[in-house]
Structure 1
Amino acid sequence: MQNVLIIEDDPKIAEHLQSYIVKYGYNAIIVANFDDVMDEFHNQKPDLVLLDINLPSFDGYYWCRQIRKESICPVIFISARVGEMDQVMALENGGDDFITKPFHPEIVMAKIRSQLRRAYGEYASHAQERILETEGLKLFPERLELTFRDKTVPLSKKEADIIESLLERYPRVAGREDLLEKLWDEQTYVDENTLNVNIARVRKKFEAVGLPGSVETVRGAGYRLIVNW
């Protein structure tokens, strides 16, 4: 049975989420100690985290960064904040998805199932490590690493998925709809700015390995990898 860790300081909301998650056959644990969320994380070893932004002591962005230092388990933010920058901050700090309050429990469950399938489903792992390579650029999807020559940068799961699509489609265009379908099962619930944010993050990762300008925007179509090194 897969474990879902609920980091939410409103007891009624936390219990509401827990009841639905358990109803659908998962184990759900509510964090009680907000002074050391990572202690609970280590003890419970969750397969997925539901994380509020407004929390005692430290906010959800902080705790997501701490989780990302040692785990790539899916993190879904759930917050009453509805501003575009709040969603951007959630993604920039390592989140995989964002749900606004008030929420419909069925949407929460759909997103939980989607993230768990992508992280642990039958296609998530392989007996032999995959390496995608083009002109010396190497992507390690299972390690979540991008390497070029002597430089290596860590990737989020979504960044790795985008780069994988760009490499697989090269020199063709990776369409926006194709990327959305690969990254999110429930396209209806994805803010259109979310893909733009992730593409911006991917561009920064290419810059970090010494390859600026490697992702071209093809207006009205999508994105294309530019190999000019």
Structure 2
Amino acid sequence: MFKIMVVEDDFKIAQIVKENLIKWAFDVKVVEDFSDILNVFNKYRPHLILMDINLPLYDGFYWCNQIRKFSKVPIIFISSRNTNMDIIMAINMGGDDFINKPFSIDVLIAKINAILRRTYSYMKVESDVIEYNNVFLSINDSCVLYEGKQVELTKNEFKIMYILMKNAGSIVSREKIMRSLWEDESFVDDNTLTVNINRLRKKLEEINIKDFIKTKKGQGYIIV
């Protein structure tokens, strides 16, 4: 079942859209907390987003830009702001389509189905981001994002971060990490792993992520 996230300031419109999408067998999440849309996005992990432009705190352009830093999920803008500049901004920020208010539900659903077919017909539907304690690891471009800042990781740094975040809260042995790196044909011995861990920590500190990777002496590493 495809999941649709609705980011709409008008409660009545959001409910009408939700009711009609449910009839089409979509799973629908209407955003209620407009202050932390990224965390709502990560927890729900939608296959498509319907995004209003006029929102409390930050507008839809801002949130689209933030999401585009780590995800290629399709975004359809829905807005009463329909000047050429608004439409151009929506597309330039990473939007996939633009629908003017007032709109036809039938047209909206047709556009949703078309985009979902184009996006997911020939690929496995899966998340392209891992999140833990507001730290985001982008699978697509091997970067870490935190509070609007990002840092790029090397191949080995990404593999280490990936295995630690997939096992967040649990200790991962040095042997398991090295095996994971060896599978990718990277030459990694005990000293090389230590160097990569230290470099990874320094990169995380560059974007104010401190004490994220803990060393458990004689056991391995853990993300807390």
The normalised TM-score by structure 1 is 0.54
2-structure distance, mates of 1:40, 1:61:
17
Q: Deviations over 1:95-146 (max 9, x none)?
A: 000000000000000010011111111x346xxxxxxxxxxxxxxxxx69xx
2-structure distance, mates of 1:46, 1:93:
19
Q: Kindly tell me the number of residue pairs found equivalent between the two proteins.
A: 126
Task: Name 1:69's counterpart in structure 2.
Answer: 69
Q: Deviations over 1:167-219 (max 9, x none)?
A: xxxxxxxxxxxxxxxxxxxxxxxxxxxxxxxxxxxxxxxxxxxxxxxxxxxxx
Taking the TM superposition and a 5 Å limit, the aligned residue runs for 1:81-160 are 81-121=81-121, 123-124=122-123
2-structure distance, mates of 1:46, 1:38:
11
Q: Verify: 1:13 aligned to 2:5, yes or no.
A: no
Flag the structure with larger Rg.
2
List gaps (5 residues or longer) in structure 2: 125-139, 142-224
1-structure distance, mates of 2:21, 2:47:
13
**Aligned-residue offset at 1:50:** 0.1
**Aligned-residue offset at 1:70:** 1.0
Contact 1:118 / 1:124 at 8 angstroms: preserved in 2? no
In the alignment, residue 25 of structure 1 is paired with which amino acid?
Answer: A
Q: Name the SS for the 1:73 alignment partner.
A: coil
Taking the TM superposition and a 5 Å limit, the aligned residue runs for 1:189-228 are none
Task: Name 2:28's counterpart in structure 1.
Answer: 28
Alpha-carbon RMSD: 1.3
Q: Name the SS for the 1:34 alignment partner.
A: coil
Q: Name the SS for the 1:107 alignment partner.
A: helix
In the alignment, residue 104 of structure 2 is paired with which amino acid?
Answer: H
Q: Name the SS for the 1:32 alignment partner.
A: coil
1-structure distance, mates of 2:119, 2:66:
19
2-structure distance, mates of 1:23, 1:61:
29
Q: Name the SS for the 2:4 alignment partner.
A: strand
Q: Name the SS for the 2:28 alignment partner.
A: strand
2-structure distance, mates of 1:124, 1:93:
24
Identity %: 45
2-structure distance, mates of 1:9, 1:37:
13
Q: Deviations over 1:44-67 (max 9, x none)?
A: 000000000000000000000111
**Aligned-residue offset at 1:72:** 0.5
2-structure distance, mates of 1:70, 1:57:
21
Q: Name the SS for the 1:111 alignment partner.
A: helix
2-structure distance, mates of 1:90, 1:110:
20
Task: Name 1:223's counterpart in structure 2.
Answer: none
1-structure distance, mates of 2:19, 2:80:
20
Q: Name the SS for the 1:54 alignment partner.
A: coil
2-structure distance, mates of 1:7, 1:14:
8
List gaps (5 residues or longer) in structure 1: 126-142, 145-229
